[in-house]
Amino acid sequence: MNYPFWNIPYLGSGWVIGIIAIFHMMIALFAVGGGLYLPLAERKAMRMTDPETRAAWLAQLVGYSKFFLILTGVFGTISGVGIWFAIGLTHPEATSTLIHNFVFGWAIEWVFFIVELSTAAVYYYTWNRIDPKLHLTVGWVYAGASFFTLAIINGILSFMLTPGDAWLAVAGTGHEAGKFWFALFNPTYWPSLFLRTCVCASLAGVWALISASRIDGDKQPALKTSLVKWSVKWLVPSFVAMPFLMIWYYRMVPASQRALLILGIDTINAGTFSIITRIALVIIVTSATIVGVAYYLAYRNPVEFNLSHALAVLLLALIATGSGEYAREMLRKPYVIGRWMYSNGVRVPYVDRINQEGYLAHSMWVWWNGRPTGFDMLTSPGDTDPLDRPYSYSRGEAIFRGECGSCHTLNGYRPLAQLLAGRDRANIGNFIVMLHENKPDSPYRRFMPPMVGTKQDIDDLTNYLNAQVNPPAPGSQKGVLTAQK
The model carries a pTM of 0.89
Q: What is the mean pLDDT of residues 132-155?
A: 98
pLDDT reading at 353 higher than 50 = yes
State the angle between helix axes of 51-70 and 103-125 in degrees (0 to 180), rounded to the nearest 10. Answer: 140
Looking at residue 160, what is its pLDDT? 97
Looking at residue 281, what is its pLDDT? 83
Would you tell me how many other CB atoms lie within 10 Å of the CB of residue 280?
19
Q: What is the mean pLDDT of residues 359-386?
A: 54
Alpha helices (H) along 71-131? 77-90, 92-101, 103-125
Instruction: Quote the distance between the C-alpha of residue 221 and its chain's center.
Output: 41
Instruction: Quote the distance between the C-alpha of residue 326 and its chain's center.
Output: 6
Q: In sequence order, what are the beta bridge partners of 377? A: 481
Q: In sequence order, what are the beta bridge partners of 335? A: 342
pLDDT reading at 383 higher than 70 = no
- From 53, 321, 71, select the one nearest 210 (Cα to Cα): 71
Q: What is the mean pLDDT of the chain?
A: 88
371 φ/ψ angles, rounded to the nearest 5 degrees: -105, 135
Looking at residue 5, what is its pLDDT? 66
Whole-angstrom distance, CA of residue 249 vs CA of residue 240: 15
Tens digits of residue pLDDT in 228-261: 999 999 999 888 899 899 999 989 998 888 777 7
State the angle between helix axes of 221-232 and 51-70 in degrees (0 to 180), rounded to the nearest 10. Answer: 60
Confidence band for 376, pLDDT divided at 50, 70 and 90: very low
